[in-house]
């Protein structure tokens, strides 16, 4: 039984303030309690903010070379501890071991390396005739991260914040605390100056609310649901602090009539089901020309039925459980809603896969005969559920894709690169991937509409942690 009862504040491991409660750490593959986590109070948040505020003056004046050196030390230690990180993610959220080793753990190192390269070339000062513009660290940044890609989201915020000269208070998800504790240990071992990095666990309505409302916090960066993002923005409004949000999505894959249908459908199903469907940018709406719709359904059903669901410790498993009971119940509810709305199940459906009697396992599910006004086409399910929608022509496909409150990502399959680029330009989303392209963490990432504000990754992501000052001379 693991007990996590320390926070990292001011360069030291400290006990929670009086009044802390404990949260059960649960293995989603077995539903068994494997540990407990101390949950902080507003007082713990205050302590972390004070430490970050005290450290800001010196860290914000550090040189580019000093920041690069620190990030390189962090990356070196991170690489050494990557097997531990992969194992932690597997245990706490049920990601399959192959995915933990191939991406869940390595992507944190990739984010560090990308931030280092961005920092090497970033222009903090530019000249404009007799004026110049300085970009200066915004101050203390509160970072709120989710459980689905836990290490990616931690490093994608911490690394550029430190590169910008900010000090940070990190509130990771209580569902995935194990990898966050390892990351704090890495920061300590790397010699991060006291107060530059602080870690406090706690509920969003307690610690998160205190971080977002505190007058000594200059910025909040949150990745989570649209509901959580709205709550943070409301809480932050009285102090007029910057809020960047990477929130929900209901991304569409447009399979155009000149695409390789079999390859496009199979790729789309794989991207939707990866990480048990718990990815904000997953292409969860597949748009297919009506004349080939039934053919596409058969391909999709076969692909979904071929996904190996099971114990995440088994190297053969390709899809593990949903990460927690609450999310599992939501997925099951949404599958039931889809059936009630009249959609046709062509793969999967309610309940666990055959042979699995324990664990938060869901069946890879494909819905046919879906209209874009159905609940399962409108709301983010955040599970292994794909809805397939027919269209008559390209104009209708674009209209359906854009007919969403979300605008995080879009996907296009086409045999004509120029046609794909023209369609991409018309999608109201923050990023577009063509013909199965993978995520590129060197270019900005974020959404339109209720998918959020601001950007992560690359120079644009670093710039979110900076204020802009213009200086004019005679």
Indicate if 166 belongs to the active site: no
Cβ contact 90:97 at 8 Å: yes
Count, in order, helices (H) and strands (E) of the chain.
16, 23
Give the 3-state secondary structure of residue 23: strand
Find the angle CA(75)-CA(431)-CA(428) to the nearest 5 degrees. 155
Which of 100, 166, 280, 380 is catalytic? The answer is: 280
Closest CA to 168 of 203, 138, 134, 123: 138
Closest CA to 469 of 126, 10, 129: 126
Indicate if 418 belongs to the active site: no
Bridge partner list, 199: 8, 170
Cβ contact 291:73 at 8 Å: no
- What are the helix (H) ranges across 237-374? 261-273, 293-305, 325-340
Contacts made by residues 342-346, CB under 8 angstroms, sequence distance 24+:
342/369, 342/374, 343/367, 343/368, 343/369, 343/370, 343/374, 343/376, 343/387, 344/368, 344/369, 346/297, 346/300, 346/301
Which of 87, 174, 231, 246 is catalytic? The answer is: 246
Measure the CA–CA gap between 92 and 360, rounded to whole angstroms: 12
Measure the CA–CA gap between 371 and 39, rounded to whole angstroms: 43
Looking at residue 309, the DSSP 8-state letter turns out to be B
Closest CA to 332 of 343, 346, 348, 317: 348
Annotated catalytic residues are: 246, 280
């Amino acid at each position: 039984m693991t007990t996590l009862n320390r926070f990292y504040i001011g360069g030291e491991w400290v006990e929670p303030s009086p009044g802390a409660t404990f949260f059960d750490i649960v293995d989603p593959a077995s539903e068994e309690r494997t540990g407990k986590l101390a949950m902080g109070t507003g007082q713990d948040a205050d302590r972390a903010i004070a430490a970050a505020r005290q450290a800001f003056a010196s860290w914000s004046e550090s040189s580019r070379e000093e920041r690069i050196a620190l990030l390189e030390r962090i990356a070196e230690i991170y690489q050494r501890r990557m097997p531990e990180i992969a194992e932690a993610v597997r245990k706490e959220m049920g990601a399959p071991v192959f995915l933990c080793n191939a991406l869940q753990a390595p992507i944190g190192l990739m984010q560090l390396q990308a931030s280092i390269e961005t920092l090497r070339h970033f222009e903090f000062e530019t000249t404009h005739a007799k004026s110049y513009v300085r970009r200066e660290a915004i101050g203390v940044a509160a970072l709120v991260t989710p459980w689905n890609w836990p290490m990616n989201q931690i490093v994608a915020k911490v690394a550029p914040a430190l590169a910008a000269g900010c000090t940070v208070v990190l509130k990771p998800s209580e569902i995935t605390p194990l990898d966050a504790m390892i990351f704090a240990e890495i920061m300590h071992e790397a010699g991060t100056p006291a107060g530059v990095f602080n870690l406090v666990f706690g509920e969003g309505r307690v610690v998160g609310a205190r971080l977002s409302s505190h007058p000594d916090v200059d910025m909040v960066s949150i990745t989570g649901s649209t509901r959580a993002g709205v709550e943070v923005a409301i809480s932050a409004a009285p102090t007029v602090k910057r809020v960047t949000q990477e929130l929900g999505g209901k991304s569409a894959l447009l399979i155009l009539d000149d695409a390789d249908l079999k390859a496009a459908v199979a790729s789309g199903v794989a991207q939707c089901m990866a990480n048990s469907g718990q990815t904000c940018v997953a292409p969860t709406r597949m748009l297919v020309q009506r004349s080939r719709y039934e053919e596409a359904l058969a391909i999709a059903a076969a692909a979904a039925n071929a996904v190996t669901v099971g114990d995440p410790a088994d190297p053969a498993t390709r899809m593990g459980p949903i990460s927690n009971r609450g999310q599992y119940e939501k997925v099951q509810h949404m599958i039931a809603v889809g059936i009630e709305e009249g959609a046709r199940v062509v793969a999967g459906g309610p309940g666990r896969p055959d042979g699995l009697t324990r664990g938060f396992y869901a069946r890879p599910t494909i819905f046919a005969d879906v209209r874009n006004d159905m609940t399962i086409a409108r709301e983010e399910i955040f599970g292994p559920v794909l809805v397939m929608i027919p269209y008559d022509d390209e104009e209708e496909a674009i209209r359906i894709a854009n007919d969403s409150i979300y605008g995080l990502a879009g996907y296009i399959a086409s045999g004509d690169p120029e046609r794909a680029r023209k369609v991409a330009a018309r999608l109201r989303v923050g990023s577009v991937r063509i013909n199965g392209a993978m995520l590129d963490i060197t270019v900005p990432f974020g959404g339109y509409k209720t998918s959020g504000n601001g950007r992560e990754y690359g120079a644009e992501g670093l710039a979110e942690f900076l204020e802009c000052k213009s200086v004019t001379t005679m």
